[in-house]
Amino acid sequence: MPEKPVILKKSTVAASRLFRVEELEITFSNGEQRTFERLARGRSNGAVLVVPMLDNETVLLIREYSAGVDRYELGLPKGRIDAGESMFAAANRELKEEIGYGAKFLHHLTSLSIAPQYMQHMTDIIIAMDLYPEKLKGDEPEELEVVPWKLSQLQRLLTLGECTEARSIAALFMTIDYLNNRISENNAPEYLPGLCIRKEVAGDADAIAAVIKDAFLDHPHSNQQEHRIVLELRKSGNLSVSLVAEADGQVVGYVAFSPVTISDHSSRWYGLGPLAVNKAWQRRGIGKRLVETGLSTLRELNANGCVVLGYPEFYQRFGFVNHEGLRLADYSAENFLALTFAAPLPSGEVIYHEAFSKN
């Protein structure tokens, strides 16, 4: 891949209440210079498009007037991310305003561009599950019609011609794939409606330690000291992301993410682990939920990527891959994987926090 062109100059050539057109003077790596125009981001902090699942088979669409094509269209709830909001907070607010539901479970599927050649805008695609009724007043000029639609009838929706927005169509197909991947080997749904993934709070430490001890008891590659790693990370202020899975009022799962150092000086990379689920709650998709939510949280922290030491067949489903340029001393390269969010994969030796080597 050639070296990325350099933007020499940016200037605004047109602006309205909602839109801003920028002119870019660009130099390519071969010395060629060109002038481009793009529709630039305004004051917005980004946008979300939400796939609200009433159940594992039914999505809630909205019918609203679309001024661009001058007709009513079926699509998914969407809106801007307000100042100070996370993408998940924005997704939940838009749901409450547009369809009268909130969601207990939100997962970031991907980020999409409509036309990357000349638009700077990106949209975060969020799947919402475990819905509950709650209505907020929005800024829509008229009440939106909520239309339940079976995912199995997606092709019919496209044939009718009432849903033509590329983002909504892509998000619906991605949702089908996502839900199919959440089915366990015994064909039982891995999604638990009553499960809550949340940040660690004061008072969780003992319950977290108990879950970790239970999960790693008799594990062939464990010295049963993983709970001490979390304790050291917490004490040293290096527990960057600390999430618990709570069900029936008790902590049943846990995952931690902490900073790692890479010898090529790549920054904002994190290590996943330990990941633990109480033995009585295993094989129900809780580990997946913890990893998914943790990776989404890292993206919100503007992390560049994440590494993990573990079973490839489990972590590859999240996008982790083996990378020969990354090494973890004393461990098999086959079981050491990396996931990049934005930057190219780095190269060099990865060093975890000293809590891992002490325990």
- The encoded tokens of residue 43 equal 């004051």
Is domain 47-180 given the CATH code 3.10.420.10 in the classification? no
For residues 280-309, average pLDDT: 90
**Cβ partners under 8 Å of residue 20, min gap 6:** 12, 14, 39, 40, 41, 42
pLDDT category of residue 188 using cuts at 50, 70 and 90? very low
Q: Is 268 exposed, middle or buried (0-12, 13-18, 19+ CB in 10 A)?
A: middle
Residue that wins the pLDDT comparison between 185 and 270: 270
Q: Which CATH architecture has domain 196-358?
A: 3-Layer(aba) Sandwich (3.40)
Q: What is the pLDDT of residues 131-173, one digit of tens each?
A: 999 999 988 999 999 999 999 999 999 999 999 999 999 999 9
In the chain, where the domains are located: 6-40, 47-180, 196-358
Give the per-residue pLDDT at 185.
Answer: 38
As a whole number of angstroms, the distance between CA 61 and CA 85 comes to 24
Q: Strands, DSSP E only, in the chain?
A: 6-15, 20-27, 33-40, 47-52, 58-66, 71-75, 78-80, 101-112, 123-133, 145-150, 196-199, 241-247, 250-259, 261-262, 269-277, 305-309, 321-322, 326-327, 336-340, 348-351
The pLDDT of residue 359: 65
- What 3-state DSSP class applies to 299? helix
Q: In degrees rounded to 5, what are phi and psi of residue 310? A: 180, -165
Phi-psi domain of 227 (left: phi exceeds 0; alpha: psi -120 through 50; beta: other): alpha
What confidence tier does 186 reach under pLDDT thresholds 50, 70, 90? Answer: very low
